[in-house]
Amino acid sequence: QVYMMGEVAKLLGDSTGVLELVAFIEDEFGVVFADADIVPANLDTIERIAAFVVERTTETTQRKSA
């Protein structure tokens, strides 16, 4: 079960909306979410979503460079 609070949760409405958002982010940015990543700390505001995507894409880029 996914619990979200904040501006994004209000827009999405329910856990199905959250899963659709996660699928979109994974497809659009090549980011992979573990179940433990689907938490308010990563998804409850646009700023947190952006920070999560930047962090994950940076990690992927660094691994490819190594």
The pLDDT tens digits for 3-38 are 445 666 667 767 788 888 899 999 999 999 999 998
Q: C-alpha 2: how far from its chain's center?
A: 12
Task: Show the tokens assigned to 62.
Answer: 């660094």
Does this model's pTM top 0.75? My answer is no
Residue 45: strand, helix, or coil? coil
Side chain identity at 60, as an amino acid letter? T
Can you tell me the distance from the alpha carbon of 38 to that of 44, in angstroms, rounded to the nearest whole number?
10
Is the model's pLDDT at 51 over the cut of 90?
A: yes
Can you tell me the distance from the alpha carbon of 61 to that of 66, in angstroms, rounded to the nearest whole number?
9
What was the pLDDT predicted at 1?
45
How many residues comprise the chain? 66
